[in-house]
Structure formats: C-alpha cells, structure tokens
Structure 1
Amino acid sequence: MKTLLLAVLNIVLLLVMPAVAFSQQSLISDPEIYEKKHFQAQCKVAEFADGFIIRQDINNDGLIDAVVNEGQLTCDGQKGPQCNDDGCTNNFYLQVAEGGYFMIATAQIYGYDFVQRFGNMVLAMKMHPRFCDRTEGDPCIVTARVRGTKFVTISKK
C-alpha cells in the first residue's frame, strides 16, 4: 500500500509541480551550462557523455528545448550517481520565445522516446513497473504530451 501511495504521489508531482515551479523560477540562458556548472561544483571531477544533453522540441512549439540525462554524468569516477532502481534523473527544460529556458519537470526514468501520435510528438517514458500498478515485469511506458508548461499523461502501459 505504501509503495502504491508513493507511486501515485510521484506521478501527481510530475504533473503538478511544473506549473508551480515555473511561477517560482527565473529563466536561465542555457541549461547545459547551468547543469554542468552545478555538477562541476558538486564533483571533484565531472565528466559528461555525449547524451548528457539532448536538444529537441518537446512541446511542439517549434523552439528547441533541452533534456538533461544525469545518467550520462560521471562524478568522481561514479557513472550516474543519482541513478537507482527507478532509473536516472532527467530534467526537462522548455525554451521560451523571449529567450532563455525554464525547467518544466524532473523525472526518474529509464529512458524515453519521442513518438508521433495524431500529428504531435509525445514522450514515451520508460519507468519502473510500479507506475503502472505492477510490482515486476517490463518497464511501464507512460506516454505524455507537453501542453503549455505541463506534462499531460495520455496513457500508461
């Protein structure tokens, strides 16, 4: 019961917190510089693999957004220090027309794909099975569309 409650809470936070976070944060000029600076301060030696940041339009607005995969960080010799059984932390940043970026969401996932559904690109995030009310088996696939500044869940399999 406790695990189910935590899973539901995580999904609610994934969907609700971006709007709250946007109203409380200022824009950053470049998420890559911002994130790398953070980890260079946290680690004695920080190394970033090619997949550390992926730049692509995640909300179908024509602006190039950014996704930071902390699993592609090696901190003091440890690859993906924040990764665990739930996956690795991914930070999703949206670019705004006025210039700059803001973080829309943080998710602990195994990975994600962008797929086309009904003419729009959507995120298919691979997550721990508990997010689909299972205790084991294949990863749960949570499909979400970014609308404005929110992740909207389309389906869970």
Structure 2
Amino acid sequence: MPVKKHLIIAAQVLGLALVPTAAPTQQQLLNDPEIYEKDHFRKQCKIAQFGSGFMTRLDINNDGIVDAVSNHGEITCDGTRGPDCNEDGCPYNFYLRAKEGGYFMIATARVYGYDFIKRFGNMVFVMKMHPRFCERTDDKPCEMTVRVRGGRFVTISRK
C-alpha cells in the first residue's frame, strides 16, 4: 500500500509541474491585427500588396470599442489577387479588441462579402456565402445573419 500511495503523490506532483507549461498555449493578445496579418503575408509572398479594404475597423460586438475585420480578398501576393479565395469566397478574420488593450481573433469565415447593419438596435453581419451553407443547391448566395455575443458568433437566421 505505501508504494501505491507514493506513486499517486508522484503523479500529482508531476501533474502540477506540467500545469504552468499549458498557459503559454492560450491565445495571446495582438497589439494590432493589421500589422500581424500584413507581416504574415509579407513572409509568404515575395511581393505583398494590400487593398484599401484589407482591414476594416468597426465595433462588431456592440460594446463601444472598435474591433477589426480583415478581408483576404484585398491581398495581392506575387501578382495573384486573393490567393486564398476560391468558389466559396475569401477568408475574413474577425478580431475583438479587449478592454485591457490588444485584440484576439474570434472567427474566420470564408464568405463572398458582408453587410454590417442595425437590426432591433444591435449591429449584425449579413454574410453572403455559398448556397450550401444554407443547405441549398441553387445559385443564389446564402445570407446568414449573425451577431457577436461574448466573443463568439451567434446565428440569427439563414436564407
């Protein structure tokens, strides 16, 4: 019995020793998502160019703090515009600004584009997406209305 007890204690101590190493794997705040993303593409491309719509600053979660949305369709990499875009659209990254400062990414979506409009007193995204995201097979884009709540997207409707 005492050997078993010593093994349990040793396992608990080892477990406690490993806990601090897990903390750095949590998402770190970015000072500026625009600089972060531009640096990423400058490493990937010999010549990276960014259109005026590459980064949009707006309050996406209705908290009064300006957040950010990047549009990868506004990137030209070595002469190819929107290198990560395909028939499903282009990647958009959505960042929230923390009250303490810094940004964190809450979502990535591959969309054709979006409108940011007011509905029932709150700002929402109406994302235009491939029809299959609305479980359709026609050619008309799916329109998914989403609101940002507590650091995540909440789907309000799809049509």
TM-score (norm 1): 0.84
Counterpart-to-counterpart distance in 1, 2:26 and 2:155? 23
Query: 1:128 aligned to 2:130?
Result: yes
Query: 1:81 aligned to 2:83?
Result: yes
In structure 1, the gaps of 5 or more residues are 1-22
Instruction: Say what the alpha-carbon RMSD is for the aligned residues.
Output: 0.9
Letter in 2 for 1:147: R
SS of equivalent residue, structure 1 residue 51: coil
Report the counterpart of residue 6 of structure 1 in structure 2. Answer: none
Report the counterpart of residue 115 of structure 1 in structure 2. Answer: 117
Q: How far apart are 1:115 and its partner, in Å?
A: 1.1
Percent of aligned positions that are identical: 67
In structure 2, the gaps of 5 or more residues are 1-24
Counterpart-to-counterpart distance in 1, 2:151 and 2:57? 17
Report the counterpart of residue 9 of structure 1 in structure 2. Answer: none
Q: How far apart are 1:24 and its partner, in Å?
A: 2.7
Report the counterpart of residue 16 of structure 1 in structure 2. Answer: none
Match of 1:94 among 57, 81, 96: 96
Report the counterpart of residue 53 of structure 1 in structure 2. Answer: 55
Query: 1:39 aligned to 2:41?
Result: yes
Report the counterpart of residue 69 of structure 1 in structure 2. Answer: 71
Report the counterpart of residue 151 of structure 2 in structure 1. Answer: 149
Structure 1 segments (4+ residues) deviating >6 Å? none
Q: Which has the larger radius of gyration?
A: 2
Counterpart-to-counterpart distance in 1, 2:75 and 2:97? 23
Report the counterpart of residue 30 of structure 1 in structure 2. Answer: 32
Letter in 1 for 2:45: C
Highest relative contact order (Cα 8 Å, sep 6+), 1 or 2? 1
Count how many residue pairs are aligned between Structure 1 and Structure 2: 135
